[in-house]
Amino acid sequence: MKIDIMTLFPEMINAVMRESIIGRAQDKGVVEVKATNIRDYALDKHHKADDAPYGGGRGQVMLAEPLYLCHQALSAGEHVHTVFLSAQGQPFNQQKARELLAKEHFILVCGHYEGIDQRFIDECVDEEISIGDFVLTGGEIPAMAVADAVCRMVPGVLPDEEAFTAESHWDGLLEHPQYTRPENWRGREVPEVLLSGHHANIEAWKREMSLRRTKKDRPDLFAQFQPQDKRDKKILDKINSDER
């Protein structure tokens, strides 16, 4: 898996993506996350990457040509799926992360200022992605969030597949509560079933808690959930009965 990130601040990307789990995965050669400075492709000696917008308005707009030349260098004449991180994009979620995982190589474009020249978007961008309905100072944080979400699913990054398939959003539900030592913390006990050693009961409890948490905290997700088997139907009947 190779992810190229086009940015004005490559040091910011490297400071995060070279650390922890993703950093170790890069050291092993399992994934590659490379930040490239757009200013390196500017056409003037001052490495200018932005200018005032046509039509007036506040702020600056990133120039199309440095973006295009940087993109061309990274794509090397081939079509590489390209994502612009934008507050106007489609919401990023686990399903989109899985779609990007299927691509061997993709490019993330970080905007800044008031945005980037629309002509570059029309020429080179395949899709726009947003990490939420809010505005940040640049696309670096969203790009790192997307890269992290995708890279952690690459085989060899985490110990095994269950490390991410059992987490929130993989199957449309939130994850069950987690506990560790001590058994009693400030008068709060670990649920007895987790100490029982009874695997089937523990798994049933985790599924029930996952469904209950999703219904309580994310009713929008719960409304879309479809029971996977008889166990799910039984748990849902229990939850509905408790609420009557």
Binding residue ranges for S-adenosyl-L-methionine: 111, 131-136
- Please state at what angle helix 199-217 crosses helix 230-242, rounded to 10 degrees: 60
* 87-118 burial code (b ≥16 CB/10 A, e <16): bebeebebebbeebbeeeebbbbbbbbebbbe
Strand segments (E) across the chain: 2-7, 32-37, 50-51, 61-62, 81-91, 105-110, 127-130, 184-185, 188-189
For β-strands 105-110 and 2-7, DSSP reports them as: parallel
- Report d(CA 215, CA 225) in Å as an integer: 10
Q: What are the binding residues?
A: 111, 131-136
- Report d(CA 30, CA 103) in Å as an integer: 14
Local structure of 229: helix, strand or coil: coil
